[in-house]
Amino acid sequence: MVTYTRPRWSSGCSFWGGFAILIAMLLAIGRFYPGTGAEQLDWKPTRSYEDEIELELQDIEQMLEVQNERRRRRGTPELTEDQIRLEVAAHERERRERSERYRAGGWASGDSGSS
């Protein structure tokens, strides 16, 4: 014969209450301890923001130079950074207009919606 005993709520409440207190203590330590987590770990970024910007500008120059080299071989005129920025702005404007037309109720007649 198997006897059934009622569950002991006190042990469950003790466990979850202790767990909640532990979490609250850890959060309080994190909140009120002086300094930041990066200082505690002695973490420093590998590169400064100025270095990141400089590398991005160098990447852009290199990509533009490679693209212009290919254009010279094909005999087409070279591109400048300003021309590329204008082209990107025109594409963004077109994309935004298509999005607004779509949200306003669909495509205009004859427009399939693909570029």
pLDDT, tens only, 24-53: 999 998 888 887 777 877 877 788 889 999
The closest alpha carbon to 78, from 62, 89, 88, 67, belongs to 67
Quote the CA–CA distance of 99 and 87 in Å, as a whole number.
18
Is 110's pLDDT higher than 60? no
Distances (CA, A) of 17 to 20, 28, 31, 83, 100: 5, 16, 21, 64, 53
Band (108; pLDDT cuts 50, 70, 90): low
- The pLDDT, as a whole number, for residue 55 is 94
pTM over 0.75: no
The closest alpha carbon to 113, from 61, 76, 79, 97, belongs to 97
